[in-house]
Amino acid sequence: QVQLVQSGAEVKKPGASVKVSCKASGYSFTGYGISWVRQAPGQGLEWMGWISVYNGNTNYALNFQGRVTMTTDTSTSTAYMELRSLRSDDTAVYYCARARTGGSWFDPWGQGTLVTVSS
């Protein structure tokens, strides 16, 4: 079955960077893109951006431009999201989700990765 499995929880200090991985299985990895969405504790969903696995094209949300980098490794069917210059308000669960194009719905989602930013 189609599945996205994310890396484990992270604790980072303010100013540091975090890199979350998302390993795909059960479908043609290069036939879809990957979007990243985050959810702060008790809050709603915030789209961060999308990457085409086929050609590496990206579309980052304005709120994250300059601070986020999304990449993929087709040899391992894994997508990565790196967020730099972390602040306390970056504490959230980060999800990856399969999305056929940059303008598409998300299905399925990874299980989420909790990133805690604290001094």
Q: By CB under 8 A, is residue 88 in contact with other proteins?
A: no
The single-letter DSSP state of residue 75 is T
22, 35, 53, 79: residue in contact with other proteins (rule CB under 8 A): 35
Between CA 117 and CA 119 the distance in angstroms is 7
Q: By CB under 8 A, is residue 16 in contact with other proteins?
A: no
20, 34, 90, 110: residue in contact with other proteins (rule CB under 8 A): 110
Between CA 22 and CA 106 the distance in angstroms is 14
- The contacts of residue 40 (CB under 8 Å, 6+ apart) are 46, 89, 91, 92
* Shortest spacing between CB 87 and other proteins, in angstroms: 21
Between CA 14 and CA 85 the distance in angstroms is 7
Q: By CB under 8 A, is residue 66 in contact with other proteins?
A: no
Q: By CB under 8 A, is residue 114 in contact with other proteins?
A: no
* Site mask for other proteins (CB under 8 A), range 44-63, x = bound: xxxx--x--------x-xx-
Residue from 47, 2, 40 nearest 22 by CA: 2
Interface with other proteins (CB under 8 A)? 35, 37, 44-47, 50, 59, 61-62, 95, 102-112
